[in-house]
Amino acid sequence: MSVTYQIEPGGVLKGRIRVPGDKSLSHRAIMLGSIAQGVTRITGFLEGEDAIATLNAFRALGVSIEGPTRGNVTVHGVGLRGLKAPGRALDCGNAGTAMRLLAGLLAGQSFDCELTGDESLRQRPMERVAEPLNRMGARIETGKGGRPPLKIHGARKLAGIRYDMPVASAQVKSALLLAGLYAEGRTCVTEPAPTRDHTERMLQAFGCAVEKNGNTVCVRGGAKLTATAIEVPADISSAAFLMAGASIAPGSDITLEHVGINPTRTGAIEILRLMGADLQVLNERAAGGEPVADIRVRGSTLRGVEVPRELAALAIDEFPALFIVAANAKGTTVVTGAEELRVKESDRIQVMADGLQALGLQAAPTRDGMRITGGPYRGGVVDSHGDHRVAMAFAMAALRASAAVTVSDCANVATSFPGFVELARSAGLKISLV
């Protein structure tokens, strides 16, 4: 289905808003609940297309799952060795997280399995996860150019390895840790920079011992997972679009409720503060093993900055929103160390640069980031290339545009932020579907 956003210029964002549940945690809660022993009850589950794809995959693997009903899901775990051959290829839709993490989990099963996805997912690189899994003893075949579909051959004996990741990626790290549950000995992964640690935290919540030493994390094979209750907080990656919109629109005052503020995900907050955003983190507390808080953002005068490289991996999914903030800051913003953006749902560096240029802004893409000079910009037509985060970012850009902004190819927003248009409109964005 073709979906286009039409956003009239101007406006402010106000009110108290709760965005949908965290996508990363929703994926992992279904996966670990399925291979745990006992009944796992999940609240706050994201009922977006990506997380639903993971849920349906585990149903096909023989797991009884009730829901989702208003964010509530009940998973009847089958234990580490209880999954069954699905009898068909598992369709991951647009979910790169689902495909990469499933590759690790399925590498240790006794049956063969194939993973596929939509046209966008079939263009994404998978050799980066297949290669280290094969090094553990798995047999995973990728399609042409190292892309999906993935054919995973079961009944392989896995051995734990020590793996130094060439590029920071929470998805690759997580795939290896899940495979490590089925491997002999220890599996250790060392990251070149910190990435989100949701898998490690949730493994511990399910009773699995996880060893951490600096940037290295290890698990031992054969660990037993025990069912538990998982509360999924609001997704900071979804909240980031409203944080960005409120920052750039004078007079805005919005509070985003119950947002996950895992320290491996707060790069966007730190970058916004560096740029002069009026941002408060309030009512900090814990939920389901993850730190959460309410985030209040008001419109402010922003400045361009050179983003510290060490923050790049901590804000990788939020950069489309942050690029819009940079376009509204005084001076030039320089982003480096974000090469992972080129292998997301789209090449987010190039697609965001193209969109910013279409609005009349100075945006120069580089191999691992972008250089953006802020200033006034016009309306225009932007192609999101089917990337949900690009679509939502340019919707927020209209708050400061001189004319209407049209964003095409927005159907995939439903993968991570169902109800985005209605919620953004309720906050004050002048958005409609064409």
- Give the end-to-end CA distance of the chain in Å, rounded to a whole number: 12
Residue 245 to residue 423: CA distance in whole angstroms: 13
Task: Encode pLDDT of 135-156 as tens digits.
Answer: 999 999 999 999 999 999 998 9
Domain ends where: 193, 215, 231? 231
Q: Report the CATH number that the domain containing residue 277 is assigned in CATH.
A: 3.65.10.10
Clarify whether residues 222 and 292 are in a common domain. Answer: no
Residue 175 pLDDT exceeds 80 = yes
**Residue 214 corresponds to which amino acid?**
G
- Asked if 193 and 251 sit in the same domain, the reply is no
Check pLDDT > 90 for residue 313. no
Confidence bin at 273 (pLDDT 50/70/90): very high
Domain range for 32 is 23-231
Residue in the block written with tokens 């150019």: 145
Whether residue 387 lies in the annotated active site: no
Number of structural domains found in the chain: 2
Output the pLDDT for position 342: 94
Look up residue 71 and give its amino acid: G
- Domain match, 104 and 184 both: yes
Q: Are residues 205 and 287 in the same domain?
A: no
Query: Do 160 and 241 fall within a single domain?
Result: no
The tokens for 90 are: 């598992």
- 220 and 260 share one domain: no
pLDDT at 194 over 90: no
Please give the pLDDT value at position 431: 98
Same domain for 298 and 312:
yes
The string of DSSP letters for 123-177 reads GS--HHHHHHHHHTT-EEE--GGG-S-EEEE-SPPEE--EEE-SS--HHHHHHHH
Q: Is the pLDDT of residue 288 over 80?
A: no
Q: How far apart are CA 264 and CA 262, in angstroms?
A: 5
What is the structure's pLDDT at 155?
86
Residue 354 and residue 280 share a domain = yes
For the entire predicted model, the pTM comes to 0.89
Catalytic residue among 317, 383, 387, 409: 317
pLDDT exceeds cutoff 80 at 205: yes
Q: Are residues 354 and 226 in the same domain?
A: no
pLDDT, mean of residues 57-67: 98
**How does the average pLDDT of the chain come out, rounded?**
96
At which of 181, 200, 231 does a domain end? 231
* Same domain flag for 149 and 223: yes
**156 and 281, same domain (yes or no):** no
Q: Are residues 122 and 183 in the same domain?
A: yes
> What was the pLDDT predicted at 168?
87
Query: Of the candidates 231, 259, 288, which is a domain's last residue?
Result: 231
